[in-house]
Chains A and B, each alone.
Chain A
Amino acid sequence: MSPEIILALIKPLLVLGLLLTNTIILIWLERKVVAGMQSRVGPDRAGPFGILQTLADAIKLLLKEQILPMKADKAMYLLAPIIALVPSFLIFMIIPLGPGFELTIGQESQFINMVGADINVGVLFFLAVSSLAVYSVVLAGWSSGSKYPLLGGVRASAQMISYEAAMGLSLVPVILYSGSMSMSKIVESQSGYLSSPIPIVDSIIGFIPNWNIFPQFLAFGIFFIASIAEVNRAPFDLVEAEQELVGGFHTEYSGFRFAMFFLAEYINMFNMCAITATFFLGGWLGPTFAGVLPPFLSAIMPTIWLGVKTFGLLFVYFWIRATLPRLRYDQLMELGWKRLIPLSIIWLMISSIVLGIREFGLPWS
């Protein structure tokens, strides 16, 4: 077998293992963080600091009976959890986890790209696949043959369409600024430090890394809000508002099928944070301490930096969930259509004018 085929077989398996393990840690972390913010203890029985709690929950869900509601549309009911899980794995495949490196075994030498698939329109791939994720929620809601899930499904489709538009529009200035739609090129364009033609300003901002978050701060804000809404997290979790809709779209699901929805939600959350870090916080860029640390450690430093940034953003997600109350439905729609979308269009105009002046000079000169 050629090395390319072996790589193509190994990468998805690694991604699968990483994402499943990561979800277990993530759920435990969320429960602990939220518990700490609400002056509770959180899970503390299973294992040290209760870290095995999620594992116990997962085993419980796997062993439970899977109920098929009598009124359910069988094909769609069984399809919905699969549609939920597949896009979440696909999105992770395009996130660059580090710079590529040369692996030499004996005589053979092979260049290994630390991306599942480095496609030249990665940004669009992310938007396209995340728009497919809407179907899982809509279908699960509709096919359950029950009132609460249907309401959850209708809400979800409206919410996700509205915020997808804002999210896509807020990414356009970033693409213009980086000059590429490839995720790896967007990360590379953020290396180095901020600079300015004015010497005094240059000496003040010269130590700040050239991350997109500084020139594109408004795009970051819009993208961050829209991404929380896109993964249906509090304060935008109207899709599964417990007080009104019981459990929302997954009310009728039990056992392993429910676990698949749960898994997809947490993987999507992790993906969204990793993508935010890639677009705005420099991705895997960071000091590698090449001379100080042993070579093996400094080689995996980029991946560690991406992890640190991602978990920092995830902490903000948990923090927001523990702090903010849920929005009302009309407030949610108003925020999406009347605030975020116009704001992102105005920001797109401003950044294209600034970029045009920087590229071609002032129109009268």
Chain B
Amino acid sequence: MSGDITLARFDDVLEHFDPVMGIEVHVELNTRTKMFCGCATTFGAPPNTQVCPVCIGLPGSMPAVNQKAVESAIRLGLALHCRIAERCTFARKNYFYPDLSKNYQISQYEDPIDQDGYLDVELEDGTIFRVEIERAHMEEDAAKNTHVGGATGRIQGADYTLVDYNRGGMPLIEIVTKPITGAGARAPEVARAYVAALREVVLALGISDARMEQGSLRADVNLSLRPKAADAAAQAKVPFGKRSETKNVNSLRAIERAVRYEIRRQGALLAAGQLVTQETRHWHEDSEETSPGRSKEQAEDYRYFPEPDLLPIEPDRAWVEELRAALPEMPAVKRARLKAEWGFTDREMLAAVNAGAVDLIEATVAAGAGPAGARKWWLGELARVANEREVDLVDLPVTPVDVAQVEALIGAGRITDKLARQVLAGVMAGEGTPEQVVAARGLEVVSDDAALLEAVDAALAAQPDVAEAIKAGRVQAAGAIVGAVMKATRGQADAARVRELILQRVGA
């Protein structure tokens, strides 16, 4: 652990240094079969039940490329504005490790399938930050090692290790950014927002479950500091510093924390005149710090060479265009479109995004509600309830259709906003649809004029002086009668209609 390190203050570091990041994200595809064999990919299957000669690396076995995985890689590349390689090849990355059944990983090296793209990332204040993508390539996942014995259950001190090859050979796409510069103090936020945005893209494409907690989306963050320059042009000329690569960052929150931690750790080292070691570090969720991996005796030398067992891929241009045409709308683009369609202000849209309400509002509008009304309920009353219950909006027991129905009831004058809150409470209490709740709770606005007139007459009769005053032209005096009628109808009357009836009755 690094408990002996005094961290620098974040703001102090940023005053003197410019952070540079590189983020590598591994996305495990949700294809039916593995990258190079026909084994199933079900998560959580009993150990070594989804393995075959290919993925346990039996002598003589050979890989066979999964077309669906290639298709997913192309679709992701298109969504990230990458150039889809005219020709790409697989390569062997050679290193010995017991989770790697052949002691080489089939990956891509010189000519990855997706090259030179970008992803526009929206920060919390609505700023757009463009993250340049260097490449995205296909590869196979390693098996799962379980370290047994020893005190910690960690690799150090374990007595032996058990290997389950179910995950071995699962299809992965690794997305590598170009160096991310210019984020300054927002580097932690940018890192988090980038991974979140990438995750959204992956989910929109439907190519992965992208569950960070299950490891189907994993991020490694490279970070270095370089002296801060006077302006951007001068800054661009300052060479990068030595970097650390932090692995095992398994939540969006952790990404932000890990970057912040590394900035403070490296800042402290540099401020003390020490050097940053180029190394791999591990993020510890519990202690919220990084620790160095065991230093390697020698530099890595992966001896990449073209995989002779697999043929090059030259994606047919017609196929690529077909895939491009069929891409779903990307989340950021969709948000911009909806904002315009709905006529929301930046602030309103941002609030909807931050509350996770965009899809809910969209569905509510699709069910017939107006955008303003939908937003009002999801970000108002329902957000309050969700907050109270400490759940996400989407997990509340109320659907966009329910909300649209409530809006319709208000529009038809059958309930008031005030009543609507009771209706929603009823829906969330499991009392049925809004219609059913209104009926069961007897919440409908009294819109029967005869019934209202009865109440108006009774109120006028009880307060003859007020009636006189109204008749004499002091129309504002009608408020007292309206109040009495509302009280008599337990709030279920439309106050405006009551007022009209009062004026009509006294002949004012």
Asked whether A and B interact, the reply is no
